[in-house]
Amino acid sequence: MDKITSQDQLKELQESIAAKRDPDKTCITICAGTGCLAYGTQKLIDSFQEEIVKRNLQDTVELRTSGCHGFCERGPIVVIFPKKIFYQRVGLDDAPEILEKTIGNGEIIERLLYENPVNGEKLTFEDDVPFYNKQMRLLLAQNPEIDPKSFDDYISNGGYQALAKAIGSMTPESVIQEIIDADLRGRGGGGFPAGWKWDATRKAEGDVKYVICNADEGDPGAYMDRSLLEGNPHSILEGMLIGAFAIGSTEGYIYVRNEYPLAVENTELAIAKAREIGLLGKNIMGSDFNFDIKIVRGGGAFVCGESSALFASIEGRSGEPRAKYVHATDKGLYDKPTTLNNVETWANVPLIIDRGSAWYQSIGTEGSKGTKIFALVGKINNTGLVEVPMGTTLREIIFDIGGGIPDGRTFKAVQTGGPSGGCIPAEHLDTKVDFDELTKLGSMMGSGGMIVMDDRNCMVDVARYFLSFLEEESCGKCTPCREGVHQMRLILDRICAGEGKEGDIDTLEWMGQAIADGSLCALGGSAPSPVLSTIRYFRDEYEAHIRDKKCPAGVCKALITYTINADCTGCRLCVKPCPTQAITGEKKQLHVIDQDKCIQCGACYEVCKDNAVTVA
């Protein structure tokens, strides 16, 4: 393929690809995101490939492996275009049946349809599924429709048109103005206006300027950046190209977690293709704009998501943050002016340039524009990626889209903002989610992780979990963070072990404040949030641990006992899994747990089908 040297040539290429494609052709799309591949989907893909050849369907049926569709709970997912017939939880050997019945005879396979949990109705088409039709998918829209390894797919969906528009008919200043007018705020959690950052970097003095995409998505329970990067890598490249054009940058980096091999692979492919076609390199689209991108893999340190630590890591040093009185826009990577934005922020850029800031401004709330992708995970029926306009309530996200809490249990809290965020209780479910509202509740929107918890989750344990996470991930530079978080975790360990003392809660509160005040970067600055927010909303649970030596949720091992109640049918299912042989009883007779032997591992609770094991 020749290099693209003008806007017209790109248009021609798009038209020539489109002309070869028949929009009404049957296309079997299989989700090949990390989540679905973990279900073993590769086997299904291989089997479809074989069967299509065997049945001589190559000319009439297209097979596409796409990026993440977002409805991870229901994987493996197969969508048959153009009607968008939606098959979920597809078996790895279901390919022959789908080809035979649905493709061959136009028959719908009932078993593979999604059942609406509200009324039991079987839904045939993707557009009817509540998980999808209650979302507003702008950034994720293309994920199911393109193969991330195919440049043609991206181009035929209007790819790189926004870049062509920026280079062809806009000035760098007007591009920046468009982003400022759109009020695009950083999706990594900080919420800083991207346009201002770009403007400052453009105006900063320096011969070399850098553009960086932060794909070091470290918040446990958040994976939207991975899905964007691995599912639609060209859209991120396009965003970075537009940014580089506006800022006057010639070099870019994508810093991506080493735990995301598929994202690395797809992005490497996309970069190679963009270079080949002249969209990266010298004189892009016939202009005097030069830009290229390198990928750097992270080393598994959470703190490297912090901008100055990330720069250190790219420079080959250990990732310690530095003070921010000198902005990255003046002195960032290698002390040169640098703009760093997160994956999702970059993904918004082509949309804004393409459709205009006025359109973008019409979505969202007063202070937060556009959509936000949330990773809805934990104790939730529909685990997956949810993209909604800013200002959607927690209740809509968790119950209308997420389908509520599984196993008939009750909602207790939702943890937002990752380790820097906090837990929000049921009384605030009607809060509109945006940058400002969640902060008022003592949490934050962060990068968009939403971990739902039910009545079987202990809030003290959750706080302890985040503290041990942060203790491990603290780079160790600031004493309050390095030592303080450790000491707070020791207090929580004691509380969970039933050795809590009066005054512990007060100590945690003032220590939390001191750590927040005395740390250099956001990791330490927000490290106490999970503790402070759980104390704020679940003080009674802390008090139950300290005063009554009880864990109301039945999680903290030292404070609970497992017993077998009268519902026991004597099925003996629990006897074998018990690692300490603590359970005895005759067949069809009530069983008993020997408390001296019991190590509270929970194996019996897990296997019991009669709810006969009680935790208290």
Partner 1 sequence: MENTIKSIIDKYEGDKGFLVPVLQDVQKELNYLPREALDLVSSILEVPISYIFEVATFYKAFSLDPRGRIQMQLCKGTACHVRGVPLIIDHVERELNIKEGETTENLEYTFETVNCLGACALGPIMVVNGEYHGQMNIAKTSRLLKKLAKESEKSEEGKS
Binders of partner 1 among 444-463, rule CB under 8 A?
A: 449, 451, 453, 457, 462
Q: Does 438 bind partner 1 (CB under 8 A)?
A: no
| Beta pairing, strands 61-66 & 26-31 | parallel
Nearer to partner 1, 234 or 297 (CB): 297
Site string for partner 1, 261-300 (x = CB under 8 A): -----------------------------------xxxxx
Cβ-based neighbours of 567, under 8 Å, separated by 6 or more: 610, 611, 612
Q: Does 425 bind partner 1 (CB under 8 A)?
A: no
The CB-side HSE value for 359 (13 A sphere, CA atoms) comes to 10
Q: What is the closest distance, in whole angstroms, from the C-beta atom of residue 103 to partner 1 in the complex?
A: 27
The CB-side HSE value for 399 (13 A sphere, CA atoms) comes to 13
Which of 62, 49, 91 is closest to 74 using CA atoms? 91
Q: What is the closest distance, in whole angstroms, from the C-beta atom of residue 40 to partner 1 in the complex?
A: 8
Site string for partner 1, 91-110 (x = CB under 8 A): --------------------
Nearer to partner 1, 182 or 398 (CB): 398
Q: How far apart are CA 580 and CA 594, in angstroms?
A: 10
Query: What type of residue is 51?
Result: E
Report the alpha-carbon angle 409-37-111, nearest 5. Answer: 60
Q: What is the closest distance, in whole angstroms, from the C-beta atom of residue 312 to partner 1 in the complex?
A: 10
Site string for partner 1, 123-152 (x = CB under 8 A): ------------------------------
Q: Does 318 bind partner 1 (CB under 8 A)?
A: yes
The partner residues of 341 in beta bridges, in order of sequence, read 213
Q: Does 78 bind partner 1 (CB under 8 A)?
A: no
Contacting range for partner 1; rule: CB under 8 A; set: 218-226, 390-398, 431-439, 518-526 = 218-226
- Retrieve residue 591's tokens: 């069983």
Residue linked to tokens 């008090």: 543
Axis crossing angle, helix 459-473 with helix 529-546, rounded to the nearest 10: 140
* Burial letters 229-255, b for 16+ CB under 10 A, else e: bbbbbbbbbbbbbbbbbbbbbbbbbbb
Nearer to partner 1, 93 or 315 (CB): 315
Contacting range for partner 1; rule: CB under 8 A; set: 98-106, 156-164, 201-209, 375-383 = 375-383
Contacting residue, 25, 606, 611, 616, with partner 1 by CB under 8 A: 606
424 backbone dihedrals φ, ψ, rounded to 5°: -110, 125
Q: Does 23 bind partner 1 (CB under 8 A)?
A: no
Q: Does 42 bind partner 1 (CB under 8 A)?
A: no
Helix (H) or strand (E) holding 496: helix 485-496
- Direct distance between the N- and C-terminal alpha carbons of the chain, in angstroms, rounded to an integer: 68
Alpha helices in 251-365 (DSSP H): 261-276, 307-314, 343-355, 357-361
Nearer to partner 1, 88 or 157 (CB): 88
Q: What is the closest distance, in whole angstroms, from the C-beta atom of residue 547 to partner 1 in the complex?
A: 24
Q: Does 581 bind partner 1 (CB under 8 A)?
A: no
Query: What type of residue is 250?
Result: T
Give contact residues for partner 1 (rule: CB under 8 A): 34-35, 37-40, 72-73, 75, 217-223, 226, 258-260, 296-302, 313-319, 375, 377-379, 383-384, 415, 418, 449, 451, 453, 457, 462, 465-466, 469, 475, 577, 579, 601-603, 606-607
